[in-house]
């Protein structure tokens, strides 16, 4: 099976997104991951720096504390701690801006 025919490890919904969504189970730190940008069917690669569960987010670039997280091209909250490229983004470090 060619690399482009293999299922992706994560999906990015919009080119503006700075996180992708993990779509495989059992992802471990150190794994080289392939993602697909659904908006234009391009691919990107990231190495996971943490174990990341199915459905959780992975940082596509280094993100500082206070940074806005963009998913689906929309602001979904802010980081309360820095996250390196390939890091796990979820409720432990991502909070709504409402409160």
- CB of 48 closer than 8 Å to CB of 30: yes
pLDDT tens per residue across span 43-95: 999 999 999 999 999 999 999 999 999 999 999 999 999 999 999 999 999 99
Helix (H) / strand (E) element for 57: namely: strand 57-59
Question: How far apart, in whole angstroms, are the C-alpha atoms of residue 56 and residue 24?
Answer: 10
pLDDT tens per residue across span 8-36: 999 999 999 999 999 999 999 999 999 99
For residue 55, give the CATH number of its domain. Answer: 2.30.130.110
pTM: 0.92
pLDDT at 6: 83
**Residue ranges making up the domain that contains 77:** 3-95
Question: How far apart, in whole angstroms, are the C-alpha atoms of residue 19 and residue 60?
Answer: 5
- Count up the domains in the chain and report the number: 1
């Amino acid at each position: 099976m060619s690399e482009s025919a293999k299922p992706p490890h994560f999906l990015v919904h919009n080119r503006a997104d700075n996180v992708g969504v993990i779509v495989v189970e059992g992802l471990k730190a150190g794994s080289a991951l392939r993602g697909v940008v659904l908006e234009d069917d391009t691919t990107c690669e990231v190495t996971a720096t943490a174990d990341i569960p199915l459905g959780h987010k992975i940082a596509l670039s280094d993100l500082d504390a206070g940074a806005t997280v963009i998913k689906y091209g929309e602001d979904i909250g802010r980081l309360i701690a820095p996250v390196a490229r390939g890091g796990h983004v979820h409720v432990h470090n991502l909070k709504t801006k409402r409160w």
